[in-house]
Amino acid sequence: MSEISLIERVGRELGQSAPDVPLYKRLKSAIETAIRSNAVKPGGMLPGERVLAENLSLSRVTVRKALALLEEEGLLNRRHGFRTEVGSRVEKSLATLTSFSEDIRARGMEPGCVWLSKQISRPSPAEMMALGLSASAMVVRMKRVRTADGQPIAVESSTVPTRFVPSPDLVRDSLYEALAARGFMPQRAIQRMRSRAASSEDAAHLHCEAGAPLLVTERRCFLPDEQIVEYCETRYKGEVYDFVFELQR
Amino acid sequence: MSEISLIERVGRELGQSAPDVPLYKRLKSAIETAIRSNAVKPGGMLPGERVLAENLSLSRVTVRKALALLEEEGLLNRRHGFRTEVGSRVEKSLATLTSFSEDIRARGMEPGCVWLSKQISRPSPAEMMALGLSASAMVVRMKRVRTADGQPIAVESSTVPTRFVPSPDLVRDSLYEALAARGFMPQRAIQRMRSRAASSEDAAHLHCEAGAPLLVTERRCFLPDEQIVEYCETRYKGEVYDFVFELQR
DNA sequence: GAATACAACCAGTTTATAACTGGTCTTATC
DNA sequence: GATAAGACCAGTTATAAACTGGTTGTATTC
């Protein structure tokens, strides 16, 4: 469906809506209907805010208010300087199949995390190797304790080149959300799992004894164009095995 | 040293040289002297061919002939569309992606190798991780002892997805030749170097004692489109350090 | 006070373009 | 074979322009 016919459709929808509801809410509903009826496919682009405003004879403020609501609901994904993309929240969470939070929720517990550090620095030798970076590159390194129902169950270190996430402050709870917001959605990952003894530091964070066996996962995440976007090492209290699998959305 | 003063210097040098020698050879010597006397630092850029030709009142053909000689000697590194970079052979062996054979030859010795095994199999967990492969993929794994003047100096294990080299029989002496023949020339690599104690097997192959420190390099080679084409681990008799650098052709 | 409108301007991204670069070829002179 | 001059191709980089969404004003209407 072309941009013009989409706008016409939204325009008709808008005309038929109750006039005592605020315009921006009516516009929001109209666009939502268009999306849900698949007039724009997920992954497709919405017309620019200026185009929408002009063709619907609305002000940009109104259009932006409507889009803001839709983005909050997860139906849209806006990117500064790029465009506004259609993408449902359900798909977002599918793409983060590897997400710790989902894993924990699926087991009926409440996920949480405590940040140990967020820093921007040069990559370590291992990180250079894993991410394919030269020494002059910069990375954002984040370390946190993952919890389930408040109990610590893993220590996780994520490293991302600043090219993809320029500042650690952009990451709130979910690294994947920060990546997605900038248009870098990992599509494939290679993950290795094996066991290792807990260091005294690990032990302190995980409330276990030093030397206790941990399940260690190493993960390299790839963008659709095979660029390496993240290197992540997680040390879980748990099982013992050595296994590699491929993660795909 | 600025471009202009470099050109002036080369110009003077050129004027003083014997007139019965071909111009391009005299120019080559003049530039070589300038480089060896550090008038241009390694890593620095030479003026463009057109600038050189014009300022020295020479034709571009002459300049190109001189530069070609210098490149052949390894003093220069020309890149289409970029510029001509100054880089001595010593640095080239570090900064560029050269094969083992080239490396050894550059040091005035005769390279050789003894094949320990060539096999086609499923990737190991470490190989899956390094090459970004799923377990269903197939790889060609090659292990050999590298020699210089007949003396064993390294044990090397190379792994390449069958996608790039379908059979180990296609590899005679040089893996890179086999790759190039199929149109897969690695252009960039990330290499990590560190030390590790020799296993008894390493020791047997390298004629040293078990436990002796080896220099171990891990290398991941990338195609121009960032696909990972090779994972290679080499254990050298030698130094002790941990350092990663980027290799580029 | 909330909704709407209009108008600027900022900042990030993409695209197109221009201005280089080295690589190649032809033609010509000596 | 060495030298010269010119034209053109192809790869790279730098720049500018034309978008994008983000933000901040003021003003009007109900």
Nearest nucleotide over every DNA/RNA strand to the A63 CA, judged by C1': C4
Given a cut of 80, whether residue B15 has pLDDT beyond it is yes
Q: Nearest CA to CA, how far is B178 from chain A (Å)?
A: 24
Residues A58/A27, Cβ–Cβ less than 8 Å: yes
Q: Nearest CA to CA, how far is A231 from chain B (Å)?
A: 11
Domain region containing A184: 90-244
pLDDT > 90 fraction of chain A, expressed in percent and rounded: 9
Given a cut of 50, whether residue B86 has pLDDT beyond it is yes
Summarize pLDDT for B25-52 with one digit per residue, the tens: 999 999 988 888 878 876 678 999 999 9
Name which of A128, A218, A245 is nearest B190 (Cβ-Cβ): A128
Task: Using the structure, give the distance in angstroms from the CA atom of B32 to the C1' atom of C13, rounded to a whole number.
Answer: 45
Q: Does A120 lie in the same domain as A234?
A: yes
- The pLDDT value given to residue A64: 94
For chain B, what is the radius of gyration of the CA atoms? 22
Q: Does A94 lie in the same domain as A33?
A: no
Q: Does B179 lie in the same domain as B212?
A: yes
Summarize pLDDT for B108-135 with one digit per residue, the tens: 677 788 898 888 888 887 788 788 776 6
Could you give the ipTM of this predicted complex? Answer: 0.44
Interface contact flag, A125 B192, Cβ < 8 Å:
yes
Identify the residue with better confidence: B233 or A183.
Answer: B233
In a domain, B142, yes or no: yes
Summarize pLDDT for B152-207 with one digit per residue, the tens: 888 889 999 888 888 888 887 778 777 877 777 776 777 666 667 788 888 888 88
Q: Does A199 lie in the same domain as A155?
A: yes
pLDDT > 90 fraction of chain B, expressed in percent and rounded: 15
Interface membership of B243 toward A (CB under 8 Å): yes
Average pLDDT of B78-103? 63
- The pLDDT value given to residue B13: 87
pTM of the complete model: 0.48
B220: CATH: 3.40.1410.10
In a domain, B193, yes or no: yes
Count of pairs with CB atoms under 8 A, one residue in A, one in B: 56
The band of B19, judged by pLDDT with boundaries at 50, 70 and 90, is confident
Identify the residue with better confidence: B91 or A167.
Answer: A167
Distances in Å between the Cα of B86 and the Cα atoms of B13, B40, B245 are 19, 7, 19
Mean pLDDT of chain A: 77
Task: Using the structure, give the distance in angstroms from the CA atom of B60 to the C1' atom of D7, rounded to a whole number.
Answer: 13
Given a cut of 90, whether residue A62 has pLDDT beyond it is yes
In chain B, which residues have their Cβ closer than 8 Å to the Cβ of A159?
Answer: none
Average pLDDT of A28-39? 87
Task: Using the structure, give the distance in angstroms from the CA atom of B48 to the C1' atom of D9, rounded to a whole number.
Answer: 17
In a domain, A249, yes or no: no
Given a cut of 80, whether residue A23 has pLDDT beyond it is yes
Summarize pLDDT for A63-97 with one digit per residue, the tens: 999 999 888 877 887 888 888 888 654 333 333 34
Average pLDDT of B3-18? 84
- The pLDDT value given to residue B96: 45
Residues B23/B69, Cβ–Cβ less than 8 Å: no
Average pLDDT of A129-136? 75
Q: Does A165 lie in the same domain as A144?
A: yes
Q: Does B126 lie in the same domain as B80?
A: no
Given a cut of 80, whether residue A4 has pLDDT beyond it is no
The band of A193, judged by pLDDT with boundaries at 50, 70 and 90, is low
The count of domains in chain B is 2
Nearest protein residue to nucleotide D1, judged by CA and C1' positions:
B22
Query: Can you tell me the distance from the alpha carbon of A244 to that of B126, in angstroms, rounded to the nearest whole number?
Result: 8
Q: Does A164 lie in the same domain as A52?
A: no
Q: Does B171 lie in the same domain as B214?
A: yes
Nearest nucleotide over every DNA/RNA strand to the A26 CA, judged by C1': C3
Interface membership of B134 toward A (CB under 8 Å): yes
User: Taking phi first (over 0 means left), then psi (-120 to 50 degrees means alpha), and beta for anything else, what does residue A144 get?
Assistant: beta
Name the 3-class secondary structure at B179: helix
Distances in Å between the Cα of A36 and the Cα atoms of A29, A65, A76, A91 are 10, 19, 12, 14
Given a cut of 90, whether residue A138 has pLDDT beyond it is no
Average pLDDT of B224-244? 68
Given a cut of 80, whether residue A58 has pLDDT beyond it is yes
| Among A86, A121, A138, residue at a domain's last position | A86
Chosen for mutation from A244, A247, A248 (greatest number of chain B CBs closer than 10 Å) is A244
| Among B59, B86, B113, residue at a domain's last position | B86
- The pLDDT value given to residue A51: 92
Nearest alpha-carbon partner for B42 in B5, B80, B7, B94: B94
Interface contact flag, A192 B132, Cβ < 8 Å:
no
Interface membership of A244 toward B (CB under 8 Å): yes
Chosen for mutation from B139, B246, B247 (greatest number of chain A CBs closer than 10 Å) is B246
